[in-house]
Amino acid sequence: MFAFSGTSLAQTREKGPWWPSSFGPTDQAGATNYITPAKVLKAVQVVKTGQMYELGHIYEGSMPQFGSRPYYISVVPAARPQREGAGSVHEDYFNGYIGQMGTQFDALGHMGVAVKMADGSIQSVYYNGFTEEEVTGKNRGLGGLEALGVEQVKPIITRGILVDIAGYKGVPVLDSRYEVTVADVRGALTRQNIREDSIEAGDAILFNYGWAVNWTNPSKYNDGRFGTGENKGSPGIGVEVARWLVERKASMVGADSCCVMVNPAPTPGSGNVHHELLFHGTFLLENMDLRDLARDRVYEFLFVCTTERIKGATGSLVRPIAIR
C-alpha cells in the first residue's frame, strides 16, 4: 500500500512510495506475473460444463466514448465483377483510440502521477518507478510507449470471480453516484458462498453494478460530460476497495462501467482508484457486460482475456470470456 500525499519524500528512481515492484526493479508485467503455469492448471479445473459467456461489448461507432475519442471504420466495396469466377476482397481502414475505447484494457503506462524527487525535481512516475523520460522520452510518444506498453502484459488465463454488487443490494442497477465499499464486497461474497480467504494471487475480480443496461445511452452510461443530458456519473469502487484488491494480489479488476471506479469521486481528494491499482501492477478492464453471468449466478469461472500485442500502446481491445 501507499499513501501518496504529494509531499516531498526522499524518493529516487530506485525507491519510492510504490516502487520497486516485488517482481524486481525492471518488471513491466505487473500482477500478471502471478498467473503461473500452476495457476493456469488450477483455474482450468474450475470448468464443469464448458458453457462460455461473452463479457465484452461489440466495437461499433454507436458505443459510448469517454470524452471525444474518435472511432472510424471504413470498408471499400468490392468492384463490380467483370467475369465469372473473378475474386473480390474487402479491407478495413480504421482510425481511433484503439486501446482506449469500448471494452478496454488499461496497460501500466496509461496513468502516472507527478512526484517530487529527492533532488527537488518533479517528475511523472508510473508503475515500478518508471519516469516519463523512460516511458516517452526518446520519441515523445511517436511509435508508442518505450516502456510499460500493453505488449508487456502476460496472457490472463486464470480463475475469475464475479462480485455481484447489484444483486447483493437487491437492485437491477446501482445509482449513478454509488460507491462500493469493502463491506459491500464482503456481503456479496457471503451471499455467493465464496470465502474471502479463498481469493488467491492472480485471480481476476469482476464487479457487476448492473450498469451495462445503459450501454445504448452514452449520456446516461457516462461519457465524461458530467451534468450534460442524463449524465450523473457512474457507480464503482473507491480507493478502500482498490487497496483491498491489491492486498489480495488480483491480477486484474474489471467492471461493467466506464471507469471501474465511482466517477466522479463523491469526495474530492479521496484518492485515485486507477493510481492505486496500476501503480501496484493490477490491471483494469472497463466497459464489460456481466449481465448474463449475474443472471445465471455464475460467480466462479475460468477467465480468458488476452490483449493485442500492440507495441507501445497504452491499452488494448480485448474479447474477455468466462467459461463455467
Collect all residues with Cβ–Cβ distance below 8 Å to 142 and sequence separation of at least 6: none
Structure-block grid coordinates of residue 121: 525535481
CA atoms within 13 A on the CB side of 226: 10
In this predicted structure, what is the pLDDT of residue 7?
A: 47
Could you give the domains of the chain?
34-63+103-109+154-323 (3.50.30.50)
- Residue 203 · residue 159 · CB < 8 Å: yes
pTM: 0.94
β-pairing, 315-317 with 122-125?
A: unpaired
In this predicted structure, what is the pLDDT of residue 9?
A: 63
Average pLDDT over residues 239-260: 97
In this predicted structure, what is the pLDDT of residue 1?
A: 55
Secondary structure class of 145 (helix, strand, coil): coil
pLDDT digits (tens, 9 = 90+) for 184-208: 999 999 999 999 999 999 999 999 9
pLDDT digits (tens, 9 = 90+) for 281-320: 999 999 999 999 999 999 999 999 999 999 999 999 999 9
- Taking the alpha carbons at both ends of the chain, their separation in whole angstroms is 33
Q: Is the pLDDT of residue 111 over 60?
A: yes
Report the C-alpha gap between 42 and 39 in whole angstroms.
5
